């Protein structure tokens, strides 16, 4: 099963003059009971934060929160004592667990752009944790690279408590890629730039496709394309 959701169908919100965000799922002021989550993937926000602004300190519990920095830089601070600066190509993972508070601010003179994803944890009640890595994923060429995972077959990237993996992909015009999956899993693909054919369905910039009950997700780049691919279980198992 394939479901195309176009860029114009994303929920757009502007908070003051500092945040422009597009929500792929119900979040904050947007609620659609038919669009709450996809497997354990609960939040997928595409954020653009203006200069000298950001998210003040706020709490989370029982979520795996991951951020992918696309442009600019973000300063992170949390209740565990972490203080870090994240730049384009960096990946951040927070296990909220029993409770964590954090702030994410853009202290530069330009804007910052990031993707923020939340996964429902499959290990409730664990201690909060934090990590970030410089993966330089934006320089990926003609392949799919994992950014964060809860599947132990993948190493040397941030590990989260969800049986899911997020990938960044690049394909040159005319390029092809077959993503192997299982019928008991789901796939969400979000195009960041360019255009793709996904099983012969045209998918343009900021469109998304949600796929279920497939063994292979076939991709063909009709133009040079970059994208995020999220691989999730149809049903998450708590451990």
Summarised one tens digit per residue, pLDDT across range 174-196 is: 999 999 999 999 999 999 999 99
Q: Which segments within 79-111 are labelled E, that is strand? A: 83-87, 90-95, 100-106
Residue 236: pLDDT band by 50, 70, 90 thresholds? confident
Residue 187 inside a domain? The answer is yes
Summarised one tens digit per residue, pLDDT across range 30-57 is: 999 999 999 999 999 999 999 999 899 9
Q: Which residues contact 152 (CB under 8 A, 6 or more apart)?
A: none
Domain count along the chain:
1
Q: What's the mean pLDDT in 144-155?
A: 89
Q: What's the mean pLDDT in 79-105?
A: 97
What pLDDT score was predicted for residue 17? 83
What pLDDT score was predicted for residue 84? 96
What pLDDT score was predicted for residue 48? 97
Residue 239 inside a domain? The answer is no
Question: What angle (nearest 5°) sits at the alpha carbon of residue 167, between those of residues 95 and 98?
Answer: 10
Residue 238 inside a domain? The answer is no
What pLDDT score was predicted for residue 238? 66
Residue 207 inside a domain? The answer is yes
Q: What's the mean pLDDT in 189-213?
A: 96
Share of the chain above pLDDT 70, in %: 99
Q: Is the pTM of this model over 0.85?
A: yes
CA atoms within 13 A on the CB side of 79: 16
CA atoms within 13 A on the CB side of 23: 19
- How high is the mean pLDDT of the chain? 95
The answer on pLDDT for 239 being more than 90 is no
* Backbone torsion region of residue 98, taken as left when φ is above 0, otherwise alpha when ψ lies between -120 and 50, otherwise beta: alpha
Summarised one tens digit per residue, pLDDT across range 1-18 is: 899 999 999 999 988 788
Q: What's the mean pLDDT in 201-225?
A: 96
CATH number of domain containing 74: 2.60.120.10
Which tokens hold the place of 231? 């691989």
In angstroms, the CA 140 to CA 224 distance is 12
DSSP 87: E
Residue 19 inside a domain? The answer is yes
The candidate with the shortest Cα–Cα distance to 27, out of 36, 18, 39, 19, is: 36
* Domain hosting residue 122, numbered range: 2-233
Residue 172 inside a domain? The answer is yes
What pLDDT score was predicted for residue 193? 97
Which tokens hold the place of 195? 């255009």
């Amino acid at each position: 099963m394939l479901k195309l959701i176009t860029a114009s169908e994303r929920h757009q919100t502007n908070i003051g003059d500092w945040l422009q965000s597009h929500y792929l799922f119900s979040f904050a002021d947007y609620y659609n009971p038919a669009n709450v989550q996809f497997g354990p993937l609960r939040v997928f926000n595409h954020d653009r934060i203006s200069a000298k602004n950001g998210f003040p300190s706020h709490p989370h519990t029982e979520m795996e929160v991951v951020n992918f920095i696309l442009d600019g830089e973000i300063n992170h601070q949390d209740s565990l004592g972490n203080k870090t600066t994240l730049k384009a190509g960096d990946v951040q993972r927070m296990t909220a667990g029993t409770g964590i508070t954090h702030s994410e601010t853009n202290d530069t003179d330009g804007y910052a752009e990031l993707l923020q994803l939340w996964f429902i944890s499959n290990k409730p009640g664990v201690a909060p944790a934090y990590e970030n890595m410089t993966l330089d994923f934006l320089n990926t060429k003609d392949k799919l690279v994992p950014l964060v995972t809860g599947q132990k077959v993948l190493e040397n990237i941030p590990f989260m408590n969800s049986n899911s993996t997020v990938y960044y992909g690049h394909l040159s015009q005319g390029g092809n890629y077959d993503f192997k999956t299982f019928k008991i899993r789901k796939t969400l693909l979000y195009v960041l730039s360019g255009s793709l054919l996904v099983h012969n369905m045209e998918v343009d910039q900021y469109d998304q496709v949600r796929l279920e009950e497939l063994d292979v997700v076939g991709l063909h780049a009709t133009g040079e394309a970059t994208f995020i691919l999220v691989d999730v279980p149809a049903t998450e198992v708590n451990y």
